[in-house]
Structure 1
């Protein structure tokens, strides 16, 4: 999910990339016609068959660009949504399937990454063995939990279960089923110092509001979740499942009450608290912190970013005051729940029925072979990625996208330099931040070393646990060392992009550098409107409501004058109010404040991409292709990358928990650019019209 473009492959939307052409030129006053020419025309890039030219662009630009696609597209049975991201994801998946099939059927040297990939895949897809061994792989973990007899031993177990499974800065990923999650990078308040971050966790539902909201749908989900806990324990052979499910749910409700809100989680100023080792014992008594940190291999470190400092004391108090039996039951459930994909099929199916169908509305589980490819991405992603880019990401694509990135950074620089409302001191800092951006295109310069990761060809559960431990050790090794501004936080084959605020860096993985986001043979207007807007979006995250709090070194500090920030905040409030008006359901609208960072990045990024496209013309007029002007192709290309169909349950979950607005509303970013009004002759009285003073302009 760009800075977070969207959240990994929660990023699902579709554009269907077939190219057709149009023979009739549009006029400024009429909808753009869509007819097929007698002969092939230039590669326009946009999908004309997806459009519905009977719709007036100024009334409903999203359906003007995507209306036929919206009517004709069916969400796959194994998906909660579909769209342009899924098109690119499916293309990547086919490439990975071919790659993995070859690796699995070839002999490799012992200890090589290729052998690890092949063995992981074999174990994961061998459901016959997984079913036959049953719950045996968890016996050691269950014994650890049963042996807990006091708070110190509970603290030791909680520390030993800590994993590097959250990322609040780069992926807005806050959830972990462990009581706490670990993240490692430069501290928010410690420039140049790499720290371990400690985040709240411990929930099986997506976030605290699922436990605390009085909304009838949330109440129903809570009832279904408690039933699911009992079902999973029963299927796993755990005795007294009903009583234990009630205790687990009661404990999780108390954990949720201890959590800070999602809005607070996104407020970096509240998350920059640095605690010493001693602070945990004095400020958050309850947990035996010596036992916890020793088991977590963190006892040699003295400084931590207490990211959820408001929640840690209450969670620690629960460890001391809740009955040990409740914690033991909770540990057993989450050990099962977080690994059902490598446990017997009946548990795996129950997990999907709740998380896939009940929470997201997806009717069918994905096939095992495809899920194995996703699991490989999770645990051996860069090993797969290295082979993937060698086969499927040509140097020419890397070069072309790198040029586009440079052009859009230059355009953003020029936009900042031309601002008339910003004080010289603020502008100087902003320009320094633009100039010092570190950009990675396609894949990292250096690849991780997986030699310490032992992979079995027969034990899928052990492979997952070992993969979690490998990742954890990899992250611990960074603490106290100089920050690597070139560190990648995404694997090359993911269909996404990211802004890294404390590195002042951008990653554009190879997975998104393909159709329908990028086509090296297509018209520049399309590419700048599609992948160019993605590039601009990520650059702009350095200056959204959160990114603007970081300077060019990645340090979080206030480099704004009071008047400048007030002007910036005013525009943010206007944009939040604009998105609050978008309501897919009578009882639910988009949360403009929650999605503000992404929406700011969309507005500023689209404007910079348009400037870069204009600059690429070198003073020449844009060609008219199939009757479309350059700016029309640019805006249509942008809107088509946000073509989105979601199941109602998934859409509700997205709005409740995700910092990204649904794609059909992100496409309406165009309302804030004057050039869109000129391109499609949008006038007062049109439904999407905003008066010039109402159009949000940031950067």
Structure 2
């Protein structure tokens, strides 16, 4: 899913949760039927019918690249977090020493002190740049990498903990490809991206100039960095290739890894990062690391220094003085994504607090906005939708009993988590200053990095969350087989305490179904109920699954979101997992609604039938608009299809939708029988 919220949700959830037919005395109308565009046929363009008027009346704010239901919720969440941060700041000096209230208050206060930040200029990173300037050979570069990764400031690739694909009970070290400043490898090679590359070079040079490097020298450094990153890009796998678990995991011993990277001593690296590696680790993309090693041998030290220095400045620029912040925004915000204005200072500071102490902020958030009893009530809805998924598996006509039995074992092992962690992280050992913003950002990053690396060699904790409670989103984890629903998504338009079942199943019910469906999408289906990457399918069943998903990929390949560039299409393979999640999730939620309300008289609220309200609730979740530049980036990077196609994609494959709106064969929202997709 994609996509926070204030006090209204806490009050609503405490009041009641409409599940299983347990309505309020009189279900509230949560649709303004005047927003429906009756000049458009629901059977031709359901998104325009449900959302067109709203989109026309709600232009994208200047500080946003897109605007829709999720973005409205994010703004609500930010407002709630702002209130919490302001209160923490006001009370921080008298709060209990070392408490999360004090640390969040001081963190936020330091970030809002623009005068002190501007006065410091780029002084905070001078020690980093000085250390980098002394690197003059391969041995020094490799040693610096170990120190940098130990402090959470590593460059060139990504490194951290993760669930062992072959033994999900334990956490191991993962080294993954990375090191690029542009969104994907294609940005370095395709001719259509040459203007972006030119702007990137100009941005790199600008940052060097801000640190006192003469313009001509800065330009030469920038050209060298682009060439450096282009080599990394050519050795990197694409986003589509990375959807295959086999391209995300290659377990090997330290000696085997050293044979691939003879210039990068992994034993020394693990010693420097204080990471225990007994049997081995995942060198996840060997081809990338082989090229990285060649570069250690043949790229001049000066070019390595320039690369490290640029990324040190770039990574720090949002937390340095205004010229650095502006340069960063001009490239990543304006040039790359088409965003006209930078977001307000307090929002950017909250981003930093969330990055560094997100779960601590979430602990304060749920105290004010999500009462404990809401978890139990939300659990009922989760159970109902999951039961619908089970029934779907049992009724599949294309899957053998052997594979069904394994699928049901995985279904049984699902662990739903709702709202927030049962046990909160501790923050002892993290020192926060009331006056030094950059030091706080760096300290929190170092603290979180150590927290992550310390998991290596230890048992996997299925109860741990990878998303904060104040995040409007939800996720499935294949390595732990968990479905996770943060507190902030349990609110309108996903959930209404006084709405009828049709609204709630079409909203949050479909989200629950979507995340459950990820356990059985093209990637998740390659993991068993314990989280291990093993095959539990017969070959005939996998072939039948692949044939169905290929039809779904073809459907989304045909979508072109930009009128100005009709040749730019959705990538059906990149978005496959999310599209399977949508299709399955909406079907599971629809079945759950029928089970909850079956046999009861349709209340016909606002002249809309139960099934019409269900599908309208789904579509309204995806209302929104996006800037063309941002959409182009997302077409290359985002595993989610554009929102307007999510509104219509799954319904167009469901006969129940056609029946609800009296659509007929030949209508755009009715797939012919030979093109209609049903997977789970």
Fold match by TM threshold 0.5 = yes
- Superposed CA RMSD in Å reads 1.7
Q: What's the CA shift for 1:292?
A: 2.9
* Alignment partner, residue 142 of structure 2: 155
Q: Residues 656, 246 of structure 1: CA spacing in aligned structure 2 closer, same or farther, 3 A cutoff? A: same
* Alignment partner, residue 349 of structure 1: 326
User: Is the partner of 2:136 in helix, strand or coil?
Assistant: coil
Q: Residues 206, 179 of structure 1: CA spacing in aligned structure 2 closer, same or farther, 3 A cutoff? A: same
Q: Residues 434, 164 of structure 1: CA spacing in aligned structure 2 closer, same or farther, 3 A cutoff? A: farther
* Alignment partner, residue 262 of structure 2: 285
* Alignment partner, residue 14 of structure 2: none
Q: What's the CA shift for 1:297?
A: 2.3
* Alignment partner, residue 693 of structure 1: 674
Cα contact 1:45–1:637 (8 A) shared by 2: no
* Alignment partner, residue 115 of structure 2: 128
Q: What's the CA shift for 1:255?
A: 1.4
> Following superposition of structure 1 onto structure 2, how do residues 148-547 of structure 1 map, counting pairs within 5 Å?
148-162=135-149, 178-215=155-192, 218-239=193-214, 240-298=217-275, 300-547=277-524
Q: Residues 622, 435 of structure 1: CA spacing in aligned structure 2 closer, same or farther, 3 A cutoff? A: farther
Q: What's the CA shift for 1:375?
A: 1.4
* Alignment partner, residue 75 of structure 1: 60
User: Is the partner of 1:692 in helix, strand or coil?
Assistant: coil
C-alpha separation between the residues in 1 aligned to 2:275 and 2:139? 16
Which of 652, 655, 660 pairs up with 1:674? Answer: 655
User: Is the partner of 1:197 in helix, strand or coil?
Assistant: strand
Cα contact 2:148–2:154 (8 A) shared by 1: no
* Alignment partner, residue 54 of structure 1: 39
Q: Name whichever of 658-667 and 682-691 sits farther off.
A: 682-691
Structure 2 residue 129 is matched with structure 1 residue 142: yes
User: Is the partner of 1:198 in helix, strand or coil?
Assistant: strand
How high is the TM-score relative to the length of structure 2?
0.93
Residue by residue over 1:172-198, the C-alpha shift from the partner in whole angstroms, topping out at 9 and shown as x without a partner, is: xxxx98211123222112342311111
Residue by residue over 1:279-327, the C-alpha shift from the partner in whole angstroms, topping out at 9 and shown as x without a partner, is: 2211222324344333222365441112222211111211221000001
Cα contact 2:27–2:498 (8 A) shared by 1: no
Q: Residues 641, 163 of structure 1: CA spacing in aligned structure 2 closer, same or farther, 3 A cutoff? A: farther
User: Is the partner of 2:85 in helix, strand or coil?
Assistant: helix
Q: What's the CA shift for 1:604?
A: 0.4
* Alignment partner, residue 586 of structure 2: 606
Q: What's the CA shift for 1:242?
A: 1.6
User: Is the partner of 1:685 in helix, strand or coil?
Assistant: coil
Where does structure 1 lack aligned partners over 5 or more consecutive residues? 10-40, 166-175
C-alpha separation between the residues in 1 aligned to 2:452 and 2:606? 52
Residue by residue over 1:641-676, the C-alpha shift from the partner in whole angstroms, topping out at 9 and shown as x without a partner, is: 001200000011111111110100011120011100
Which of 548, 562, 575 pairs up with 1:595? Answer: 575
Cα contact 1:189–1:273 (8 A) shared by 2: no
C-alpha separation between the residues in 1 aligned to 2:519 and 2:275? 31
* Alignment partner, residue 35 of structure 1: none
Q: What's the CA shift for 1:618?
A: 5.0
* Alignment partner, residue 34 of structure 1: none
Q: What's the CA shift for 1:418?
A: 1.1
* Alignment partner, residue 649 of structure 1: 629
Residue by residue over 1:196-254, the C-alpha shift from the partner in whole angstroms, topping out at 9 and shown as x without a partner, is: 11111111111211101122xx1110001001100111112234212211111111111
Cα contact 2:337–2:629 (8 A) shared by 1: yes
Q: Residues 56, 493 of structure 1: CA spacing in aligned structure 2 closer, same or farther, 3 A cutoff? A: same
User: Is the partner of 2:172 in helix, strand or coil?
Assistant: strand
User: Is the partner of 1:190 in helix, strand or coil?
Assistant: coil
C-alpha separation between the residues in 2 aligned to 1:201 and 1:408? 38
Residue by residue over 1:404-424, the C-alpha shift from the partner in whole angstroms, topping out at 9 and shown as x without a partner, is: 101000110011011122111
Q: Residues 196, 50 of structure 1: CA spacing in aligned structure 2 closer, same or farther, 3 A cutoff? A: farther
Structure 1 segments, 4+ long, off by >6 Å, are none
The structure carrying a bigger helix percent of its residues is: 2
* Alignment partner, residue 117 of structure 1: 104
Which of 546, 552, 555 pairs up with 2:529? Answer: 552
Residue by residue over 1:389-412, the C-alpha shift from the partner in whole angstroms, topping out at 9 and shown as x without a partner, is: 010113453333211101000110
Where does structure 2 lack aligned partners over 5 or more consecutive residues? 5-25
Cα contact 1:157–1:292 (8 A) shared by 2: no
Q: Residues 479, 299 of structure 1: CA spacing in aligned structure 2 closer, same or farther, 3 A cutoff? A: closer
Cα contact 2:171–2:458 (8 A) shared by 1: yes
Residue by residue over 1:433-483, the C-alpha shift from the partner in whole angstroms, topping out at 9 and shown as x without a partner, is: 111111110001111111121111122111112112111111112112111
User: Is the partner of 1:508 in helix, strand or coil?
Assistant: strand
C-alpha separation between the residues in 2 aligned to 1:47 and 1:551? 44
Cα contact 1:163–1:181 (8 A) shared by 2: no
Q: Residues 583, 562 of structure 1: CA spacing in aligned structure 2 closer, same or farther, 3 A cutoff? A: same
User: Is the partner of 1:579 in helix, strand or coil?
Assistant: helix
C-alpha separation between the residues in 2 aligned to 1:163 and 1:147? 19
